[in-house]
Amino acid sequence: MDRREFLKALALTGAAVTMKWDGVMDIMAQENHTSGTYDLVAVMGGEPAEMFRKAIAEFGGIGKFVKAGQKVVVKPNIGWDKVPELAGNTNPELITEIIRQCFDAGAKEVVVFDHTCDDWRKCYQNSGIEEAAKAAGAKVMPAHEESYYREIELPRAKNLKKAKVHTAILDCDVWINVPILKNHGGAKMTISMKNHMGIVWDRGFFHSNDLQQCIADICTIHKPAVLNVVDAYRILKTNGPRGKSEADVVLTKGLFMSPDIVAVDTAATKFFNQIEKMPLEVVGHLAKGEELKIGTMDIDRLNIKRIKI
Amino acid sequence: MLKKIRLLLALVIGFTITCCFLDFAGLTDGWPNLARWQFVPALLAGSLVVVITLLVLTLLFGRIYCSVICPLGIFQDVIAWISKKTNRKKKYAFSREKRLLRYGILGIVILAFLLGGTVLLSLLDPYSAFGRMTVNVFRPVYQGANNLLAGVFNHFGNYTFYHVQIYVLSTASLLIGLLTFGAVGWLAWKHGRTWCNTLCPVGTLWGFLSRYSLWKVTIDRQNCISCGLCERKCKAACIDSREGQIDHSRCVDCFDCLSTCHKQAIHYRFLGKTKPTETSPDSSKRQFVATLAALSLSIPAKALTQAAPLSNSNKAWHKQHPLSPPGSRSAEHLLAHCTACHLCIAKCPSRVLKPALFEYGAGGMMQPKMDFEHGFCNFDCTVCSEVCPNGALLPLSKEEKHKLQMGRVVFVIDNCIVHTDETSCGACSEHCPTQAVSMVPYKNGLTIPSVNPDICVGCGGCEYVCPVRPFRAIYIEGNPVHQQAKAFQEAERKEVILDDFGF
């Protein structure tokens, strides 16, 4: 019996016992980190909402991250004036499911926004996210104007010592980072860490002051996302982050989830690497993030749950 | 009754056009584009139906156009109305026609236009003047009010309203807008329709035709006691009550006079053909002024622009040609058709259009050009080409737009961050819809932009987003005549079947 199988068996037994003895198991789960909770959950082969449900269940439900009465932000990537089929933005079905679960967990309000690259109204509309979010009861907030941002200090950062961050993030109780997995011409990959560029106002500063370092820097924000959910249902393998045509899109039906932002991005990059070559070293912000102690690239040492549907 | 119909029509039409110019949130999408019913735009666009309809309308009923179709006319009536409200004693008095001035201006405008000095027509065409005034003067006020509302609503967690950035489109255009507002507004406040009856070339043309119109306002001299009530009501100052005469070339069919007469001596009725008196204006004088104006306008733009920005740390460059908007075909076509009404500028969701100064030459002043300071041209957007009433921007389909090359990308490696700082960037390539800017391997695992201008559409995404200042590392050089972009190579589509996570 290898380690993984052993853990699986343990988890299964754990789950079986929980059915009857939740109280007891809760205490056990807290004591024995490796048996009940995972560091990272990866799912393949399902629909976006379905994969999220499976993954979050492995973490013990969204209630582990979102408490009743909290103000929650769900931050997708809505950067481009693209329809969901072109994989420029996070999948709207996934966003719907996350919002729904947040409300189920008792969230007082859920806000969705992104600082877009294309015209924000077109992005919000054509991505399908505005409609999905509103239908699920979330508020959709603009982010196209400097007045929606407030300056904060980033004492742990190297280059980006200060940044104007969207007030939705600064004023919420918790936020969930929901990027889409894409190739990126400048940063090489855009996943959870790069998705932080959508919470800041001045992206030009990033580009002129070592992009990879600034991406890692912004992730040192005092209020990190409680959970990173990487949408890899459709991914953009080439010509990212915008993509030229459907030829750049691959239907991979994946989803990765972790509170550890560097770990989940490392895992997603390795997943991506199976389609297009993408060594971890070239995705500079991963190592820089690890250096700033915001997460680990050493995912082999993590407790990962893999689910194939 | 006639007055009430006039009022109703004027209010509806005036409101619709004004809203189209003010709206930034897509609230007027689907409203009728009444700009197409404006005379000068229709004439330049070659829409015969509109031109003939308006001609026939005037020949039948007189200057109905000036009262209910022209937004600047309606604007003046509003101002005059307010003026009257504030000063109840206000009254108008007959004044003599300034014929030489009227026809002189019309002549100069036409001559200047034929010589490439479209700017004069742009300045004086009432619809375009109204558009510019609304976009430059009223729109910021409207946006400011919106921002106030947005501030209140957003504070309470409601995002129905959102903030918009208010900025000066161009100083020249703002000044001209303010000047138009000041001049037309002052004239309307003091003297009613003086603008329409002395300066407006369209008013002069309709004035000329309305001498021959079949229906006219006339004074029944048998009943008239020359009390002067109608004259005092006439904002066009065209009723000479003492003589019992009406100058039909200046009557704008407002019908205000009809109800004031106690003796039922003034009527709007069918008159058939009457013989207007015609004196020809002093042609030699006109010629002189026209030539002078034409000359001054054909002074090359280069002589007027001071192109001497201080050179800075990074490599300087200058665009040889401005980028004319999608659908304009060429700077030349734009020059010959656009009267700078700013409707395209108001409707551009990406804020990429702005009024030109001398980039198209002095004659093309205030015409729209693409400027990448506040945004870049959305790949899928064709709004400007759809709204243009002048045919200066011709309608484009999304597919046509995708292949249209408005300009070509130029990369200045000496300014590029990847080259100077040896750090990642790629913002330009990120924004490029055709990957005319793509990232290719450079040193130390870095990638650097590489450009293929043949597949560039000239949207300006790269120039807009390039973080380098003062001179960016990438910019778009305008095509004086729009070209077809070469089709970009599509990556081969391959089916990928993954059955492992890869970690």
Structure tokens at B418: 């990847």
Structure tokens at A201: 């106002």
Residue of A nearest to B439 (CA): A185
Measured from the Cβ of residue A37, the count of other Cβ atoms closer than 10 Å reads 18
The rounded Cα A87 to chain-centroid distance in angstroms is: 15
Q: What is the pTM of this model?
A: 0.87
Q: Given this model, what pLDDT does residue B165 score?
A: 92
Taking the Cβ of residue B270 and every Cβ of chain A, the question of whether any pair is shorter than 8 Å is answered with no
Is the pLDDT assigned to residue A21 strictly greater than 50?
Answer: no
Written as one string, the DSSP assignment of B250-303 is T-----TTTTT-TTS-EEEEE------------HHHHHHHHHHHHHHHTS-HHH
- Chain A partners of B432 at a C-beta cutoff of 8 Å? 242
Interacting residues of A5 by C-beta distance below 8 A, sequence separation 6+: none
Nearest to B435 among A207, A244, A267 (CB): A244
Is the pLDDT assigned to residue A250 strictly greater than 90?
Answer: yes
Q: Given this model, what pLDDT does residue A6 score?
A: 56
Q: Given this model, what pLDDT does residue B273 score?
A: 54
Partners of residue A200 on adjacent β-strands: A165
**Nearest to B193, CA basis, from B254, B133, B122:** B254
Give start and end residues of each alpha helix (H) in B115-252: 118-124, 126-133, 139-155, 171-191, 194, 201-210, 229-233
Give CA torsion, residues B362, B366, B367, B369, to 10 deg: 100
| Residue of A118, A299, A305, A306 for testing the chain B interface, max B β-carbons within 10 Å | A118
Q: How far A267 CA lies from chain B's nearest CA (Å)?
A: 6
- Residue extent(s) of CATH 3.30.70.20 domains in chain B: 317-484
Partners of residue A182 on adjacent β-strands: A190, A236
Written as one string, the DSSP assignment of B321-333 is SPBPPTT--BHHH
Interacting residues of B350 by C-beta distance below 8 A, sequence separation 6+: A119, B375, B376, B377, B378, B381
Q: How far A282 CA lies from chain B's nearest CA (Å)?
A: 6
Give CA torsion, residues B8, B9, B12, B15, to 10 deg: -100
Measured distance CA(B341)–CA(B179) in Å, rounded: 15
Q: To the nearest whole number, what is the mean pLDDT of chain A?
A: 91
Amino acid present at B404: L
Q: Given this model, what pLDDT does residue B444 score?
A: 85
At residue A29 the predicted structure's pLDDT band, cuts being 50, 70 and 90, is very low
- Map tokens 């102690």 to a residue: A293
Amino acid present at B34: L
Measured from the Cβ of residue B411, the count of other Cβ atoms closer than 10 Å reads 19
Q: Given this model, what pLDDT does residue B308 score?
A: 43
Measured distance CA(A253)–CA(A227) in Å, rounded: 20
Amino acid present at B379: F
- Chain B partners of A141 at a C-beta cutoff of 8 Å? 159
Measured distance CA(B194)–CA(B196) in Å, rounded: 5
Q: Which residue has the higher pLDDT, A290 or A29?
A: A290
| Residue of A40, A120, A244, A280 for testing the chain B interface, max B β-carbons within 10 Å | A244
As to burial, measured by CB atoms within 10 angstroms (0-12 exposed, 13-18 middle, 19+ buried), residue A145 is middle
Measured from the Cβ of residue B469, the count of other Cβ atoms closer than 10 Å reads 12
- B116-140 burial, b at 16+ Cβ within 10 Å, e below that, comes to bbbbbbbbbbbbbbbbbbbbbbbbb
Q: How far B236 CA lies from chain A's nearest CA (Å)?
A: 46
**Nearest to B338, CA basis, from B45, B13, B21, B5:** B45
CB contact under 8 A, B162 and A144: yes
- Map tokens 């990959």 to a residue: A189
Whole-number CA gyration radius for chain A:
19
Written as one string, the DSSP assignment of A2-46 is -HHHHHHHHHHHHHHHHHH-HHHHHHHHHH-HHHH--SEEEEESS
As to burial, measured by CB atoms within 10 angstroms (0-12 exposed, 13-18 middle, 19+ buried), residue B155 is exposed
Give start and end residues of each alpha helix (H) in B90-168: 99-114, 118-124, 126-133, 139-155
Residue of B nearest to A247 (CA): B493
Size of interface A-B (CB pairs under 8 A): 136
Partners of residue A76 on adjacent β-strands: A178
Please check whether residue A124 is in contact with residue A116, taking contact to mean a CB–CB distance below 8 angstroms: yes
Measured distance CA(A213)–CA(B448) in Å, rounded: 17
pLDDT tens, residue order, chain B (503 aa): 899 999 999 999 999 999 999 999 999 999 999 999 999 999 999 999 999 999 999 999 999 999 999 999 999 999 999 999 999 888 999 999 999 999 999 999 999 999 999 999 999 999 999 999 999 999 999 999 999 999 999 999 899 999 999 999 999 999 999 999 999 999 999 999 999 999 999 999 999 999 999 999 999 989 999 999 999 999 999 999 999 999 999 999 999 999 999 999 999 999 875 554 444 444 444 544 554 455 455 444 434 444 444 445 789 999 999 999 999 999 999 999 999 999 999 999 999 999 999 999 999 999 999 999 999 999 999 999 999 999 999 999 999 999 999 999 999 999 999 999 999 999 999 999 999 999 999 988 889 999 999 999 999 999 999 999 999 999 999 999 999 999 877 767 777 788 899 99
| Residue of A115, A191, A208, A307 for testing the chain B interface, max B β-carbons within 10 Å | A208
Partners of residue A235 on adjacent β-strands: A250
**Nearest to B439, CA basis, from B462, B405, B414:** B462
Measured distance CA(A212)–CA(A223) in Å, rounded: 20
DSSP letter at A300? G
Q: Given this model, what pLDDT does residue B496 score?
A: 77
DSSP letter at B374? S
As to burial, measured by CB atoms within 10 angstroms (0-12 exposed, 13-18 middle, 19+ buried), residue A300 is exposed
Q: How far B130 CA lies from chain A's nearest CA (Å)?
A: 28
Instruction: Mark which residues 284-313 of B lie under 8 Å from A by CB.
Output: none
For chain B, what's the residue count? 503
The domain defined by B317-484 folds into Alpha-Beta Plaits (3.30.70)
Bond preceding residue B480 cis, omega within 30 of 0: no
Please check whether residue B215 is in contact with residue B270, taking contact to mean a CB–CB distance below 8 angstroms: yes
- Walk me through the domains of chain A, giving residue ranges and CATH numbers: 1-36 (no CATH), 41-308 (3.40.50.11440)
For chain A, what's the residue count? 309
- The predicted-structure confidence for A154-193, as pLDDT tens digits, reads as follows 999 999 999 999 999 999 999 999 999 999 988 999 999 9
